[in-house]
Amino acid sequence: MHDGSGRVVVQNLTKTFGQVLAVQNLSFTVEPGTVTGFLGPNGAGKTTTLRMLLGLVTPTAGFSTINGQPFHHLGNPGRVVGAVLEAQSFHPGRTARNHLRVYARAVGVPDHRVEEVLHLVGLTDAAGRGPGGFSMGMRQRLALATALLGDPQVLVLDEPANGLDPEGIKWLRTFLQRFARSGRTVLVSSHLLAEIEQTVEQVVIISRGQTMYYGSLDDLRKSQRSRVIVTPSDPAALLKALQEAGYAAIEQLPDGVLAVWDAEARQVGDIALAAQVAIYGLESRHADLEQIFFQLTSGQFAGRPQ
Ligand SMILES: Nc1ncnc2c1ncn2[C@@H]1O[C@H](COP(=O)(O)OP(=O)(O)OP(=O)(O)O)[C@@H](O)[C@H]1O
Ligand SMILES: [Mg+2]
């Protein structure tokens, strides 16, 4: 039997499709209780990894487990893990409610669970209609409702925010955070950090099938160097004073602007005052997360892989 922990483990997972190395020696663990973001640009290997996790693709090497077991050993997997993958298709002739009833039977849950999940995703009013006429966002909600039928301990969602309007994204965020806080595991992929930045606490960032960062979003923010952008009356004099004060990483930007790395605005201001240099502008800059994500995934930045 599985260990019931809700932990998801990916260990040295590798997948090649002919010449394409889609996933390369990928390892990470997703713990219950938080929402983990699985991030990477298009073609990074997110969907392939999730498909391996869900037993839909056979790995070339490595393995993955949910609750300590490979997917195929989970018994009734619908009760353990709910998943929404890309390009979900629905039977064209069925209403949303009937679609869910078919799946409820497969998972082994009673029909009233169908009404519960319809309510959870806000589709009760549309339940008598066919998903063929649904908007993209409504289809995403129906796919999520399907994943929730078995009241699973683990949720795996591939780009669930695609097609959702801002209200839908906000709803999804609240839903996933609440779900995770109840002690369950949420792994949610995206190619846009900004889209899930407010939803996730942990991130696994991959690029070209490899892990670039694995840890908390807060630590990723903190790992970035800060710099102070200063516009002095006399750039040469301030540069000299800063160097004498021990600041080695100083860039000279156009128009007499200096960028001082690893400094605080206050320190730069005090040094300028002591050197009798007037300051016309002073600003602290921290790399925003989108920049960090871009640097990590465009291969220009070695990062801090763990
Ligand atoms: N069935 C397949 N046959 C051949 N190549 C594949 C197959 N599935 C995926 N690939 C390749 O594996 C790589 C990773 O694809 P994958 O779909 O996992 O990326 P992704 O991170 O989900 O991208 P996206 O953000 O576009 O969804 C790509 O180069 C893709 O072309
Ligand atoms: Mg994908």
pLDDT of residue 300: 32
Q: Which atom of ligand 1 is the closest one to the Cα of 23? A: 14
- Could you give the CA distance from residue 31 to residue 297 in angstroms, rounded to a whole number? 24
- As a whole number, the mean pLDDT across the chain is 89
Ligand 1 geometric centre to CA of 47 (Å): 7
**Token pair for 80:** 């353990």
Where in the chain are all domains bearing CATH 3.30.70.100? Answer: 225-284
Q: What angle do CA 190, 294, 18 make, to 5 degrees?
A: 65
pLDDT of residue 2: 58
Q: Assign a CATH topology to domain 225-284.
A: Alpha-Beta Plaits (3.30.70)
Asked if residues 282 and 265 have their Cβ atoms less than 8 Å apart, the reply is yes
pLDDT of residue 303: 39
Q: Name 290's Cβ contacts closer than 8 Å, sequence gap at least 6.
A: 193, 194
Where in the chain are all domains bearing CATH 3.40.50.300? Answer: 8-221
Going by C-alpha positions, the residue among 159, 158, 134, 5 that lies closest to residue 67 is 5
Residue corresponding to tokens 């209403």: 95
Pocket test for ligand 1, best of 47, 159, 187, 211 (most atoms within 8 A of CB): 47
**Predicted confidence (pLDDT) per residue in 248-305, tens digit:** 999 999 999 999 998 999 999 999 999 999 999 999 887 777 778 888 887 533 334 4
Residue corresponding to tokens 């989108």: 290
Question: Region 156-176: what's the mean pLDDT?
Answer: 88
- Could you give the CA distance from residue 54 to residue 50 in angstroms, rounded to a whole number? 6
More confident residue, 59 or 94: 59
Return phi, psi of residue 138, to 5°: -70, -35
Q: Assign a CATH topology to domain 8-221.
A: Rossmann fold (3.40.50)
Question: Region 206-224: what's the mean pLDDT?
Answer: 88
Pocket test for ligand 1, best of 46, 88, 293 (most atoms within 8 A of CB): 46
pLDDT of residue 163: 79
Where is mean pLDDT largest: 137-141, 220-224, 241-245? Answer: 241-245
pLDDT of residue 306: 37
Rg of the chain over Cα atoms, rounded to whole angstroms, equals: 24
Bridge partners (DSSP) of residue 76 are: none
Q: Name 72's Cβ contacts closer than 8 Å, sequence gap at least 6.
A: 55
Q: What angle do CA 14, 84, 43 make, to 5 degrees?
A: 40
pLDDT of residue 253: 92
pLDDT of residue 193: 86
- pTM value is 0.81
**Predicted confidence (pLDDT) per residue in 106-143, tens digit:** 999 999 999 999 999 999 999 988 888 888 888 889 99
pLDDT of residue 39: 94
- On the 0-12 / 13-18 / 19+ scale of CB atoms within 10 A, 42 is exposed
What is the percentage of the chain residues whose pLDDT exceeds 90? 65
**Predicted confidence (pLDDT) per residue in 23-57, tens digit:** 999 999 999 999 999 999 999 999 999 999 999 99
